[in-house]
Amino acid sequence: MKQISTREIESYLQKYIACMQAHGEELMDKPMPAADEELFALYETTGNRLKYESVYFARRKMLAVYGCLSLLEGKPEYLKKLEEVLDGICEEECWALPAHINRKEDPQWRICVDLFASETAHALSEIISGLKGRLPSALCEKVRENVFRRVLTPFMNAAAPYAKWEGGDNNWNAVCCGSIGCAAIYLMQDEPELLKPLLDRIVCSLDSYIAGFSEDGACMEGLGYFTYGMTYYTGFADMLYRYTDGAIDLMEDEKCRRIAMFQQKCYFPSGRTLSFSDGDSRDTYKMGLTCFLAMRYAGVEIPPISCAGGFDEDSCYRFMANYRDVVWTRKYLEQAEKGLLPAEEDDGAADCLVLPGAQWSICRGLSGGGMAAKGGNNGESHNHNDVGSFLYLAGDEMLLTDLGAGEYTRDYFGEKRYDILCNHSFGHSVPVIDGKGQKEGTEYACSHFEADGSGRTGISFGQAYGTERVKSLTRSLCYDPAKESLQAEDVLEDRETGENPVSMKENLVTQYKPVIVGNAIHIAGRKYGCRITVEDLEGSIGFETKKHSNHRGAEEEVYCITWEVPADKEKPGTRKCRFRVEMEEI
């Protein structure tokens, strides 16, 4: 990956701050939108999250805008508007989201330490601490009382774990504990006898968060959740390091260095990103977090500036990330000017990468696209039933797709999760066995994964279907980065060779309407396309149009291309399919 210049970063930072300033002017005379009971109850009655959350995060946007501008510039008009925003947030009935509470069963539902209550507690604590003496003392005391009553005191008074996220291995742990730890350092320094055990508890919990990454540093939840969790982990680690005068350094572990390298491995040269699990194929990175990691570890690369998220990129307007996009980026530029950055290393720029712990194989093509395949299991955090799946890009067009995250609703995280296309294996490019897809759970997994780092990947994943009728199912992929061609072979071995053999259908997923001619499938994007040629086809190839509600709630069309895989005439009980994907320019 080409290292971007400090001039590009300086230009990015100027635009970022200008965007905040523009919002500051635009919102100055507007009241905070009302987060009322009718909207709050929608999740309980319909399962819809987006309507209430759009209002909730519009309020957090105002907090981020005026909190950041007040700290960075301190203009009287910003401070005055910030007072109104801080008071409004203190008056909210509940800082948690409706999706994270249960009003029917919990009479104390107003006090719930979830992701967003924790984030709010951190933001308010950092803002009043950074503006000490510049805000009314009565307002600061009101903020302090709310942070303790809603977050710090409930957490401290509860035996560990407060909830299942404490000591967990995913982003909830990092966000909640990182936020609580920072808020505590800001507000409890005059009570060291209470602060020290709380910080010890936070550090112990965060050990489990780091353990949740694979040994090669991969975040199984997807790139976006790497960004989310690591923003709060590094924010707390940085603050704890400074509070303890360097005595506690949560970033010194070698695994943290490998985790820091994960982000750059998820980017294809075109700027498209891996969308495994609840990821996003057009994900952006946080400049502040990336600069922090690049200041700490040699070999951390900053992806193309076009992929850097602006102030508006995060619809949740998280103050932790927004403020550090400025202060950590500024620090990076200062260190670059002084020649104090770690030496550059050639890491992760190879045509083909292998993450053996995650069981991911990633190949990059000359057009800027590539191929990626995964093993893993169907019990991963933010899991999709996708063991053995792959995606294929040409340029910046994902022609065989991984849909990534769908719309977050009550069903998305409930019992109907795997009825949703993007979570079901029918929404991934994996075979259908006996008319059924893969099953969810850690036991439904890849039993063998190997990749040579030169484009060849082998995956054994019959176990993912949970049927004793299948003896084995193997997928062999061979990608040529120069030609950008992919040769695939799937082989099924049946335990039953009698009158009731196991059936197998191939299933390839695209968001471009395919054209099928004989044994050839043509998929055309805007600039690039591909031709998929199926060998030894018996019967015909068809496709079905399905609906997908993406993460933003917009409905999209998805095309699932299928064909029957015939029995191998030379090997009873075996079904074999070979197909070749070749890039075409439109």
Residue 392 and residue 197: Cα distance in Å, rounded? 49
Q: Note whether 154 and 98 are same-domain residues.
A: yes
How distant, in Å, are the alpha carbons of 263, 307, 348, 444, 586 from that of 269? 13, 11, 12, 33, 20
Terminal-to-terminal C-alpha distance of the chain: 26
Q: Note whether 325 and 412 are same-domain residues.
A: no
Torsion 113-117-123-127 (CA) sign: negative
Domain tally, the chain = 2
Last residue of a domain, one of 338, 372, 392: 338
How distant, in Å, are the alpha carbons of 244, 496, 547 from that of 471? 57, 9, 33
307's tokens: 């992929």
Asked whether residue 370 is domain-assigned, the answer is: yes
pLDDT at 343: 86
Asked whether residue 5 is domain-assigned, the answer is: no
Asked whether residue 36 is domain-assigned, the answer is: yes
Cβ atoms within 10 Å, residue 472: 16
Q: Which residues are registered as beta bridge partners of 271?
A: none
Q: Note whether 416 and 495 are same-domain residues.
A: yes
382's tokens: 């933010």
pLDDT at 348: 44
Q: Note whether 393 and 280 are same-domain residues.
A: no
Asked whether residue 1 is domain-assigned, the answer is: no
Q: Note whether 152 and 296 are same-domain residues.
A: yes
Q: Note whether 493 and 566 are same-domain residues.
A: yes
pLDDT at 496: 72
Residue 399 and residue 515: Cα distance in Å, rounded? 13
Cα dihedral value 320, 326, 327, 331, nearest 10: 140
Find where tokens 């790497």 sit.
226
Torsion 317-320-323-324 (CA) sign: negative
Q: Note whether 165 and 284 are same-domain residues.
A: yes
Helices 50-72 and 6-27 pack at an angle, to 10 degrees, of 110
Which residues touch 109 (CB under 8 Å, ≥6 apart)?
A: 94, 96, 101, 102, 103
Asked whether residue 4 is domain-assigned, the answer is: no
Here the CATH number for the domain that contains residue 178 is 1.50.10.100
Q: Note whether 394 and 310 are same-domain residues.
A: no
Helices 50-72 and 76-90 pack at an angle, to 10 degrees, of 140
With 0-12 / 13-18 / 19 or more C-beta atoms within 10 angstroms meaning exposed / middle / buried, residue 562 is: middle
**Domain containing 461: what range?**
352-584
Residue whose C-alpha is closest to residue 188's, from 143, 242, 233, 152 = 152
21's tokens: 């300033």
Q: Note whether 325 and 401 are same-domain residues.
A: no
Here the CATH number for the domain that contains residue 479 is 2.70.98.70
Asked whether residue 347 is domain-assigned, the answer is: no
Residue 426 and residue 560: Cα distance in Å, rounded? 8
- Supply the pTM of this predicted model: 0.96
Residue 498 and residue 205: Cα distance in Å, rounded? 54
Q: Note whether 77 and 164 are same-domain residues.
A: yes
Q: How many residues in total does the chain contain?
A: 586
pLDDT at 495: 87
Q: Note whether 462 and 319 are same-domain residues.
A: no
Q: Note whether 438 and 357 are same-domain residues.
A: yes
Last residue of a domain, one of 338, 363, 387: 338
Q: What SS3 class is residue 526? A: coil
Which residues touch 100 (CB under 8 Å, ≥6 apart)?
A: 112, 114, 115, 116
Residue 14 and residue 437: Cα distance in Å, rounded? 49
Last residue of a domain, one of 338, 370, 400: 338
Asked whether residue 174 is domain-assigned, the answer is: yes
pLDDT by 10s per residue, the chain, length 586: 667 999 999 999 999 999 999 999 999 999 999 999 999 999 999 999 999 999 999 999 999 999 999 999 999 999 999 999 999 999 999 999 999 999 999 999 999 999 999 999 999 999 999 999 999 999 999 999 999 999 999 999 999 999 999 999 999 999 999 999 999 999 999 999 999 999 999 999 999 999 999 999 999 999 999 999 999 999 999 999 999 999 999 999 999 999 999 999 999 999 999 999 999 999 999 999 999 999 999 999 999 999 999 999 999 999 999 999 999 999 999 999 999 999 877 644 569 999 999 999 999 999 999 999 999 999 999 999 999 999 999 999 999 999 999 999 999 999 999 999 999 999 999 999 999 999 999 999 999 999 999 999 999 999 999 999 999 999 999 999 999 999 999 999 998 767 789 999 999 999 999 999 999 999 999 999 999 999 999 999 999 999 999 999 999 999 999 999 999 888 889 999 999 999 998 8
Asked whether residue 399 is domain-assigned, the answer is: yes
